[in-house]
């Protein structure tokens, strides 16, 4: 049991100060901008809630938000089951385990803009490996700079390539913690492969799966660099996800007020959905 001790606050203080410095001050700046209009030169005019109202009625924002939810939905629907399948198929012990883990973690360790750039070159028609294979070997017309569907497929495959390993690593960690005795008991009872999965492996993976889904949700919802480098949000606006649109407004057009209002709504949506996931997945954990 943990003991009550208010002095523990002193242990937490450095973390609190550092994170507050990084989180609260910028957040206050954003809130401050979100209610003002500026034409440069540090001259600001009070605008009240105008930006929020405009944004909530703006088609552009709705479209970007819709694309963002679509992207995150596809990512979760593909990466979570795929990650579970791969984790289940991995060997539990032996010399190949560390080799597998290291190779699988490799894509996660590449800087995000390099990921975007390498996939961009990888998919170039004629000279990229995937582009060459699709266009010249299979004869499928594939060019993500012109075809929105191709662009979408490419960013989804890129993200699957980049992040499925996180789900695999987490699920695998949950799986190796299951004692052998459980499997032996299931064998004696004559349980089918599905029954073993449903009643032994899945419950044991629940905790790590919660973390995996939360992390994948947050990170895919906030994704910026990779799709920006890969497609630049194009062709047209077809892959302009929420954060790409946000940076376009904030740094491209320098509309600080609307961009700040958008940031706040964006953050609120992320927080709300994460909280929903969290409550739903942990609701039957504690009495």
Partner 1 sequence: MKKRSLIPILYIAFLMLPIYWLVSMSFKTTNEILSGFSLFPRTFTLENYKVIFTDPTWYWGYINSIIYVSLNTVISICVALPAAYAFSRYRFLGDKQLFFWLLTNRMAPAAVFALPFFQLYSAVGLFDTHLAVALAHCLFNIPLAVWILEGFMRGVPKELDETAYVDGYSFPRFFVTIFLPSIKAGVGVAAFFCFMFSWVELLLAKTLTAVEAKPIAATMTKTASSAGYELGLLAAAGTLTIIPGAIVIYFVRNYIAKGFALGRV
Question: What distance in Å separates the CA atoms of residue 38 and residue 147, rounded to the nearest whole number?
Answer: 38
42-81 residues near partner 1, rule: CB under 8 A = none
Q: Which is nearer to partner 1, 74 or 104 (CB)?
A: 104
From 151, 143, 122, select the one nearest 227 (Cα to Cα). 151
253-272 residues near partner 1, rule: CB under 8 A = 256, 259, 263, 266-267, 270-271
Using the rule CB under 8 A, is 276 a contact of partner 1? Answer: no
Using the rule CB under 8 A, is 22 a contact of partner 1? Answer: yes
Question: What distance in Å separates the CA atoms of residue 270 and residue 84, rounded to the nearest whole number?
Answer: 25
One-letter-per-residue 3-state SS of 104-128? HHHHHHCCHHHHHHHHHHHHCCCCC
Using the rule CB under 8 A, is 183 a contact of partner 1? Answer: no
Which residues on neighbouring strands pair with residue 229, listed in sequence order?
Answer: none
Minimum Å distance from CB 27 to partner 1?
A: 8
Using the rule CB under 8 A, is 146 a contact of partner 1? Answer: no
Using the rule CB under 8 A, is 192 a contact of partner 1? Answer: no
Question: What distance in Å separates the CA atoms of residue 44 and residue 33, rounded to the nearest whole number?
Answer: 9
Question: What distance in Å separates the CA atoms of residue 121 and residue 236, rounded to the nearest whole number?
Answer: 20
Q: Which is nearer to partner 1, 50 or 132 (CB)?
A: 132
Using the rule CB under 8 A, is 108 a contact of partner 1? Answer: yes
Instruction: By CB under 8 A, name the one of 43, 46, 59, 91 that touches partner 1.
Output: 91
Question: What distance in Å separates the CA atoms of residue 23 and residue 244, rounded to the nearest whole number?
Answer: 21
Question: What distance in Å separates the CA atoms of residue 122 and residue 22, rounded to the nearest whole number?
Answer: 37
Instruction: By CB under 8 A, name the one of 50, 143, 218, 234 that touches partner 1.
Output: 218
Instruction: By CB under 8 A, name the one of 63, 153, 186, 211 that touches partner 1.
Output: 211
Using the rule CB under 8 A, is 176 a contact of partner 1? Answer: yes
């Amino acid at each position: 049991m943990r003991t009550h001790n208010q002095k523990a606050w002193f242990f937490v203080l450095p973390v609190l100060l550092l994170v507050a410095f990084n989180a609260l001050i910028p957040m206050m700046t954003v809130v401050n901008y979100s209610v003002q209009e500026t034409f440069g030169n540090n001259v600001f005019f009070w605008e009240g809630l105008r930006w929020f109202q405009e944004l909530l009625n703006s088609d552009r924002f709705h479209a970007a938000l819709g694309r963002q939810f679509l992207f995150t939905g596809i990512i979760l629907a593909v990466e979570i089951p795929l990650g579970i399948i791969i984790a289940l198929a991995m060997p539990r012990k032996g010399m190949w385990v560390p080799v597998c883990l290291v190779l699988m973690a490799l894509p996660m360790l590449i800087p995000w803009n390099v990921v975007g750039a390498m996939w961009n070159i990888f998919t170039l028609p004629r000279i990229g490996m995937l582009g060459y294979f699709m266009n010249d070997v299979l004869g499928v017309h594939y060019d993500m700079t012109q075809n929105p569907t191709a662009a979408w497929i490419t960013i989804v495959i890129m993200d699957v390539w980049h992040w499925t390993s996180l789900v695999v690593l987490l699920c695998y960690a949950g799986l190796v913690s299951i004692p052998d005795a459980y499997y032996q008991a299931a064998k004696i009872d004559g349980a089918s492969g599905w029954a073993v999965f449903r009643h032994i492996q899945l419950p044991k993976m629940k905790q790590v799966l919660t973390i995996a889904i939360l992390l994948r949700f947050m990170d895919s919802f906030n994704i910026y660099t990779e799709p920006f480098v890969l497609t630049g949000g194009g062709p047209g606006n077809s892959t302009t996800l929420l954060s790409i649109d946000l940076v376009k407004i904030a740094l491209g057009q320098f509309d600080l007020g609307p961009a700040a209002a958008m940031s706040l709504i964006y953050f609120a949506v992320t927080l709300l959905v994460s909280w929903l996931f969290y409550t739903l997945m942990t609701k039957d954990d504690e009495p």
